[in-house]
Amino acid sequence: MPKKIKKSRLALLFALVLFISCVPEDHLNIRIEPLGKIVFDLDQFSEIFVTDFLIKSQSKGLDLNAEIIDYFSSELRNNFKGKVSTKKITMEKEEVFKNEDFWKNLSADKEKTLLLTGSIQYKEEVRKAVLGRRKKDSEDPFQAEKTLTVQRFYLLNLDLYLIDGKTGKALYKKSFKESKNYKNPEQTAYFAFFDLIKVVKEKLFRDLLGERKIQLRYLIIH
């Protein structure tokens, strides 16, 4: 055997042994829940009013305002130390969120109040696709059975505001855009809405309450 080939094989063997020795023998999966940083502190207020939202579009048969008011007021009562109330209002244009006098008049007789409001758009789409699948009795990849699949797609766009009841100024604003595709063609807009609004709530409460978020970490064991 030529010396050059022998040396190259020895070098390759040495590199392989070195690589194996560096590979960790085992590891542990550790789930941690770090506390998020609070972006907006709710404790400076004694009462939160959840108002009607400006509805840009919604699915038929779904009362978005009723559902979102009930959902947020219920979640806030479970997490906010102060009082949570609801308030019926009428909005027609997006510009209302910049109208400080409008919001001041809603709670002029109360101190340390916060208004939770916003605009919402909820869309539903039925998507059809033709999928090809190889026939069981055929080895030819070009001979495929074509099937038509129907799926439902839901999109939730939400601009959320927290407005100071005393000054009428927006102290917090965040836009959420959540979507989900369902293979079940019978999936209803009602249940899909709660899947999406739950995601919004988790992101929102992370800012307001510093809610914990589960993360996965690896601990290497030698």
CATH at residue 167: 3.40.50.10610
> Residue 178: pLDDT above 80?
yes
pLDDT over threshold 50, residue 6: no
Within a domain: residue 73? yes
Domain of residue 116, residue span: 37-122+155-221
Q: Is residue 206 part of a domain?
A: yes
Q: Buried (b) or exposed (e) across 79-90, using 16+ Cβ within 10 A?
A: ebebebbeeebe
145-154, 164-173, 181-190, 208-217: the lowest-pLDDT one: 208-217
The residue among 205, 63, 169 whose CA lies nearest residue 120 is 63
Residue 77, class by beta-carbon neighbours within 10 Å (0-12 exposed, 13-18 middle, 19+ buried)?
Answer: middle
Mean pLDDT over the full length of the chain: 81
Helix 189-208 vs helix 64-79: crossing angle, to nearest 10: 40
pLDDT tens-digit map of 77-104:
999 999 999 999 999 999 999 999 999 9
Q: What distances in angstroms separate CA 168 from CA 50, 79, 104, 110, 200, one per listed residue?
A: 15, 24, 5, 13, 24
Q: Is residue 130 part of a domain?
A: no
Whether 141 maps to a domain, the answer reads: no
Whether this model's pTM surpasses 0.85:
no
* 197: in domain: yes
Domain count, the chain: 1
User: Per the domain annotation, does 96 fall within a domain?
Assistant: yes
Determine, yes or no, domain membership for 80: yes
- What integer pLDDT is reported at residue 203 of this predicted model? 94
Q: Is 127 among the domain residues?
A: no
